[in-house]
Structure 1
Amino acid sequence: MASEDVVGKTSATIANLAEEAKIASEGVKAPSRHALLSICKSLVAGGVAGGVSRTAVAPLERLKILLQVQNPHAIKYNGTIQGLKYIWRTEGFRGLFKGNGTNCARIVPNSAVKFFSYEEASKGILWLYRQQPGNGMPDAELTPVLRLGAGACAGIIAMSATYPMDLVRGRLTVQTDKSPSQYRGIAHALGTVLREEGPRALYKGWLPSVIGVIPYVGLNFAVYESLKDWLIKSRPFGLVEDTELSVTTKLACGAVAGTMGQTVAYPFDVVRRRMQMVGWKHAASVVTADGKSALEYTGMLDAFRKTVRYEGFGALYKGLVPNSVKVVPSIAIAFVSYEMVKDLLGVEMRISD
């Protein structure tokens, strides 16, 4: 009789453990599926934001690159209006959007990774910050400096992951109908660069990109989030009546963030783009009359030195005007598109959460 009681109790214990394990297993799976779905939605929102914002300003993006790398001894583009008119006259409407397909193929995954990385980096940095004594845990919030760090991490990860596409985009954007040899598309360009210049060529200009992306993306996120927080908390001039900013106000925050970030980082973007053209003997716009490339650099510092020495300090800001015209709506549209798509997809977490 005693043995039967023991067996019965043992069986009941095993059944209870099995039931608890089942409940625990289901409890783990549900949040995991929910988290995975949330990640996918966040990536989609970031990708859509990047594609929409870049397509909207594609003509200005192309003109900026052409101004950055054009031969100083054979000037074709003298300014924003003249440059756009010249492209329209010589290449037609399609010329204004040349390279935009490649740009979207790059910017969609880049933007998706960037926004998602920022959110994850923000959570990680905030967690570490709250572990430090004297930071007011668990109520501590991200400071502008911490947001700068999270944005820098996000920019480096996204840029590094898609850099070969950026190099190819730059070359497809620069080539014209008069280029001696034509890249026929993304795959052909990647294959040609690998075959003629080697795998390392796909990362030409990576170092100035890394250095430049820290203040650029970092300031974008830090200024955007800090402005939003300040407006919500202080409600200056009666602009904010509740805790939710209007689309117009968000656009203004994004515009300010984009202007500050691109002004600080722009010289690195010029050097990066010039280094990407080194070794491309068929780039018509950067080749001199005797067939020699006007862009020959041994590294980042050499590119800075030669650019300033032969063209003056102002050359580091070539294309700044069309880029300024472009970057304000581009960054603003990207931030607003991202939050709107996340709202449509039902993602609970916003950038600033």
Structure 2
Amino acid sequence: MAAPVEEEYDYEGLPPNFSLGANMLAGAFAGIAEHSVMYPIDLLKTRLQIVQPTPAAVQQSITRSILNISKVEGFRNLWRGLSSVVLGAGPAHAVYFATYESVKHAMGGNKGHAHEHHPLAAAASGASATIVSDALMNPFDVIKQRMQMQGSIYKSVPHCAKTVFRTEGLAAFYVSYPTTLCMTVPFTALQFMTYESLSKILNPSGGYDPYTHCGAGAVAGGIAAGLTTPLDVIKTLLQTRGNSKDLEIKNAKGLWHTAGIIYRRQGTAGFFRGLKPRIITTMPSTAICWSAYEMAKAFFIARNDRT
């Protein structure tokens, strides 16, 4: 009688008993790594996207701008609000990647061999993942951007959360959520399609390859970030409106109303404020995110093989 043949699976397909918990741990690790490394440039992006950017943020280069902020406000201020990102990014990315893998599997994206290409499954998986994760992350993102503003009155993440809730209500944490989804759904769909496509081209075997994961992640993130910058500008204005002394900005009510304010005051160029730091932040961030996620996933798969 022939010996039973062990079931084979591709690296990208994950083993049948790959747990949701392991997937979420891999995603949480990826999220914290992604946001922490490039935080000072993200702070600069936020300040540039405010309708009246602070003088310290408007310099000839990103390096000079960051150095100027550090000189004027102190080095530690470059990291104000980071703890909000860490608190939110872990759970949000855990849910993000768990949803991504679940939807991708349900749509047949993990069927067949590693060389097979499933761009629609990847795009749908990414879009589904961001809808779920943004619902969790949006309040933390609001707190982060309030603390990133020059002269921020908030002493800590809990102080910011309590103050915003007391003065503006729960709605302040979600006023930008529809705009966030309008940005992140196409951003994520573009990113996942590009990442999956580049990964198939650069790494047709489908095995764990850190160089491919890093390079494909960076290119995918840069393309998606550039194309969705106008929506990111609108999101930033909505998330920081409560601290504005400008009544029109303070009363901004949604995507189209906010877009109208930006267009009347700064024209089409206003929608691309912070484009360069956004791309420069996103490329290494997504490279780190995908590399960290794939590394954690490979670790769990290797451990599964040993048991």
**TM-score, normalization by structure 2:** 0.85
Does 2:208 correspond to 1:253? no
Once residues 294 and 90 of structure 1 are traced to their aligned partners in structure 2, the CA distance between those partners, rounded to angstroms, is 26
**Number of residue pairs matched by the alignment:** 287
Query: 1:196: which partner in 2?
Result: 167
> What SS class does the counterpart of residue 52 from structure 2 fall into?
coil
1:15-54 alignment runs, 5 A limit: 35=17, 38-54=19-35
Distance, in Å, in 2 between the alignment partners of 1:223 and 1:324 is 15
| Alpha-carbon distance in structure 1 between the residues aligned to 2:233 and 2:266 | 13
> Which residue, out of 196, 200, 212, partners 1:229?
200
Shift of 1:344: 2.4
Which 5+ residue runs of structure 2 have no aligned equivalent?
1-15
Mapped pair 1:122 → 2:91: no
Q: How much does 1:341 deviate?
A: 1.6
* Residue aligning to 1:314: 269
Change (3 A) 1:267 1:138: same
> Which of 246, 268, 274 lines up with 2:231 in the alignment?
268
* Structure 1: tracts of 5 or more residues without a match: 1-33, 131-136, 234-241
Name the counterpart of 2:44: 63
**Structure 2 letter corresponding to 1:190:** A
Correspondence for 1:325: 280
Write out per-residue CA displacement over residues 137-189 of structure 1, whole angstroms, 9 at most, x where no aligned residue. Answer: 9999662123111111111110012211111111112152xx4xx22322222
Task: Output one character per residue of 1:313-334: Cα deviation in whole Å (capped at 9) or x when no partner.
Answer: 1111111111111111110111
What is the match of residue 148 of structure 2? 173
Matches within 5 A, 1:200-219: 200-219=171-190
Find out whether 1:78 has 2:58 as its counterpart: yes
Pick one of 291, 294, 298 that aligns with 1:336: 291
Post-superposition offset of 1:307? 0.3
Q: 1:143 aligns with which of 97, 115, 118?
A: 118
User: Once superposed, what is the RMSD of the aligned Cα atoms?
Assistant: 2.7
Identity %: 26
Q: 1:293 to 1:183 in 2, by over 3 A?
A: farther
Where does residue 8 of structure 2 map in the other structure? none
CA displacement 1:246-265 (0-9 Å, x = unmatched): 32222111111001111122
Over residues 6-59 of structure 1, what are the superposed CA-to-partner deviations in whole Å (9 max), with x where a residue is unaligned?
A: xxxxxxxxxxxxxxxxxxxxxxxxxxxx95x72111111111111112111011
Q: Is the 8 A contact 1:71 1:287 kept in 2?
A: no
Supply the distance in 2 between the matched residues of 1:163 and 1:116 (Cα, whole angstroms): 18
Q: Which has the larger radius of gyration?
A: 1
Deviation at 1:67, TM superposition (A): 0.8
